[in-house]
């Protein structure tokens, strides 16, 4: 049942073939049956069944909301009132927020039914979900492999058929790369399109809320529910959201897709490149025109990102001081000792590494050489996209250079891990929307096709994804149970 998408489940709910309560129970049972994936930090049966009863009442009253009664999961980075929100960090292991994030509010108002909070890389820093104080998540396609990160639990829960969609966040690829590794669809909206209010901050000029689902159509339904201006987030954009559903059926005839050769560079596995090319040929059959383009500054995206993101993280994570909330060390000898030991005990290794890098890059004497230079690189990268979009409608390439790698394979080498983000981080630096679409398999593991659009052209991404998915069946493939 849960292998069906949102649209099918919504039809079944309206036809009274099932109920929100039944769907919630099935999701809860599936979460339990697949506990070995370690996709969940919290399963919230009581709250889920309560929300499902409300949804059933809304359905009985004739609610026409698209997501009413649909079970889903939240990444454990979104604050949920009364439900602990950990960011997979020992620092927030016992943090129970007194309020809901904007995205949580909107999905609750849509009568969607959250069944729990998913595992992730600590503070969203990572590309494998191995940086979690609750242990790594396993990829449903091959449990010896990573699901990607940082939204690894969300991706695994959708890929395993536990729920039809999940919320996620994307600071450098954290929705798109796990979507690619798990064979599902993941959309990172334009920066500012979805409110960050109540979403625990990592790098505030890059962080972006979005979703992972089985299809582009399902992503369109979720984006419709969560997009929009929010005065509580000063970076939220005051501009009406488009009609993402109406745009799905537009023909792709004549749409120009730029193929950036930089995205097929060294490090991209042959099987991944071949699958991506095959998916692009399918888009070509639908009338898309493929055009070779160049993004000459693509090679400096990783170095720029790994200065800017840690710099913002070091500043954002200064708030965890052991005083107001979060972990506090035992028997502090002084205020200084309280700060230092609480933080050293509360943060994991990768988070501490990024704080140190960011602190260095922002410190007196190094600011110009690192932070300012990275910000100039950011401008060059954004300019590359602007120049390309003067002649093409979308830009395409593989989402990740490889298929899902083995647990432990890159864990000891941060730089090898950072390279997993080579094709995704530039999008965050420029603040653009991008989608990862299932694009077949390499060595039996899913490959993702990334499409990038100009700011606020989510409808174009979802349209292209939906048209591709009407003519291919990669997105319907499921891992063996």
Partner 1 sequence: MSIDQATVRRIARLARLSIGEGDLSRVAGELKRVLDLADQLAGTDMVGIEPMAHPHAQTLAWRQDKVCEPDRADAFLALAPEARGGLYLVPKVIE
Q: Are 176 and 190 in contact (CB under 8 A)?
A: no
332 makes contact with partner 1 (CB under 8 A): yes
Q: What is the DSSP string of 46-92?
A: HHHHHHHHHHHHHHHTT---TTTT-EEEEETTB-BTTB---TT-GGG
Q: How many residues bind partner 1 (CB under 8 A)?
A: 69
Least separation in angstroms between residue 234's CB and partner 1 is: 5
Q: Does 198 help bind partner 1 (rule: CB under 8 A)? A: no
Q: What minimum distance in Å lies between the beta carbon of 93 and partner 1?
A: 12
Burial class from Cβ neighbours inside 10 Å (0-12, 13-18, 19+) for residue 101 reads buried
Q: Which of 16, 36, 61, 98 binds partner 1 (CB under 8 A)?
A: 98
Q: Is 426 in the site for partner 1 (CB under 8 A)?
A: no
132 is catalytic: no
User: Cα angle at 358 between 176 and 450, to 5 degrees?
Assistant: 15
Smallest gap, in angstroms, from Cβ of residue 241 to partner 1? 16
Catalytic residue among 150, 151, 154, 442: 150
Comparison of 4 and 235: residue with beta carbon closer to partner 1: 235
Among 302, 425, 437, 449, binds partner 1 (CB under 8 A): 302
CA 357 from centroid of its chain's CA atoms: 24
Q: Rule CB under 8 A: is residue 386 a binding residue for partner 1?
A: no
Contact 23, 1 (CB under 8 A): yes
**Cβ atoms of residues 114 and 372 within 8 Å:** no
Site for partner 1 in 254-293 (CB under 8 A): none
| Residue 474 engages partner 1 in binding (rule: CB under 8 A) | no
- Say whether 174 is catalytic: yes
Question: Phi then psi for 14, rounded to 5 degrees?
Answer: -70, -30
Q: Does 344 bind partner 1 (CB under 8 A)?
A: yes
Residue from 113, 179, 275, 374 binding partner 1 (CB under 8 A): 374
Tell which one of 246, 323, 386, 443 touches partner 1 (CB under 8 A): 323
**Strands 113-118, 71-75: pairing kind:** parallel
Main-chain phi, psi angles of 260, to 5 degrees? -85, 115
Q: Find the DSSP H helices in 186-247.
A: 216-226, 244-247
* Residue the block writes with tokens 């060390």: 329
Give me the catalytic one of 89, 174, 195, 442.
174
Tell me whether residue 292 or residue 336 sits nearer to partner 1 (CB atom).
336
Question: Is residue 304 involved in binding partner 1 (CB under 8 A)?
Answer: yes
* Least distance CB 199 / partner 1 (angstroms): 16
Contacting partner 1 (CB under 8 A), which of 183, 258, 397, 431?
431
| Positive or negative torsion for Cα 430, 184, 302, 76 | positive
Active site residue 334: no
Asked whether 125 and 117 are in contact (CB, 8 A), the reply is no
For partner 1, the closer of residues 64 and 334 by Cβ is 334
Q: Is 82 in the site for partner 1 (CB under 8 A)?
A: no
φ/ψ (deg, to 5) at 326: 85, -175
- The encoded tokens of residue 57 equal 């009442």
**Residues involved in catalysis:** 75, 150, 174
Residues in the site for partner 1, rule: CB under 8 A? 95-96, 98, 191-192, 205, 231, 234-235, 237-238, 297, 299-300, 302-304, 306-307, 310, 314, 318, 321-325, 328, 332-341, 343-344, 347, 352-353, 355-357, 359-361, 363, 370, 372-380, 382, 414-415, 418, 429-432, 455
């Amino acid at each position: 049942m849960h292998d069906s998408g949102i649209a099918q489940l919504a039809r079944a709910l309206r036809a009274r073939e099932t109920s929100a309560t039944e769907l919630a129970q099935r999701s809860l049972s599936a979460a339990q049956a697949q506990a070995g994936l370690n996709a969940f930090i919290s399963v919230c049966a009581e709250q889920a069944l309560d929300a499902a009863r409300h949804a059933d009442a809304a359905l009985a009253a004739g609610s026409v909301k698209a997501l009413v009664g649909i079970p889903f999961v939240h990444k454990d980075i979104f604050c949920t009132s009364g439900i602990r929100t950990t960011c997979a960090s020992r620092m927030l292991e016992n943090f129970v927020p007194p309020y809901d994030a904007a995205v949580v509010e909107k999905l609750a108002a849509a009568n969607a039914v959250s069944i729990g909070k998913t595992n992730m890389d600590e503070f969203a820093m990572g590309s494998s979900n191995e940086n979690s104080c609750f242990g790594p998540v396993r990829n449903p396609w091959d449990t010896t492999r990573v699901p990607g990160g940082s939204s690894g639990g969300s991706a695994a829960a959708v890929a395993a058929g536990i729920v039809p969609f999940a919320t996620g966040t994307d600071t450098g690829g954290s929705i798109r790369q796990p979507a690619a590794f798990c064979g599902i669809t993941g959309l990172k909206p334009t920066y500012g399109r979805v409110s960050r209010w109540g979403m625990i901050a990592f790098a505030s000029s890059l962080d972006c809320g979005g979703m992972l689902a089985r299809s582009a159509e399902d992503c369109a339904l979720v984006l419709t529910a969560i997009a929009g201006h929010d005065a509580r987030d000063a970076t939220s954009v005051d501009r009406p959201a488009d009609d993402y559903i109406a745009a799905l059926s537009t023909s792709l005839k004549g749409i120009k897709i730029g193929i950036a050769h930089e995205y097929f560079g060294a490090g991209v596995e042959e099987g991944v490149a071949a699958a991506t090319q095959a998916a692009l040929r399918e888009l070509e059959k639908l009338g898309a025109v493929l055009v070779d383009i160049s993004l000459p500054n693509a090679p400096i995206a990783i170095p720029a990102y790994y200065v800017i993101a840690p710099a913002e993280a070091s500043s954002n994570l200064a708030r965890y001081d052991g005083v107001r909330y979060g972990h506090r060390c035992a028997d502090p000898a002084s205020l200084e000792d309280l700060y230092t030991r609480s933080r050293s005990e509360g943060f994991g290794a990768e988070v501490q590494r990024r704080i140190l890098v960011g602190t260095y890059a922002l410190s007196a004497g190094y600011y110009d050489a690192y932070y300012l230079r990275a910000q100039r690189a950011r401008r060059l990268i954004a300019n590359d996209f602007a120049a390309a979009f003067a002649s093409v409608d979308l830009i395409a390439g593989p989402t990740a250079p490889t298929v899902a790698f083995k647990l432990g394979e890159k864990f000891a080498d941060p730089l090898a891990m950072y390279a997993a983000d080579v094709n995704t981080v530039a999008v965050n630096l420029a603040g653009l929307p991008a989608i990862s679409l299932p694009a077949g398999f390499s060595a039996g593991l899913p490959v993702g096709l990334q499409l990038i659009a100009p700011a606020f052209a989510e409808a174009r991404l979802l349209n292209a994804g939906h048209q591709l998915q009407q003519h291919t069946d990669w997105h319907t493939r499921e891992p063996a149970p």
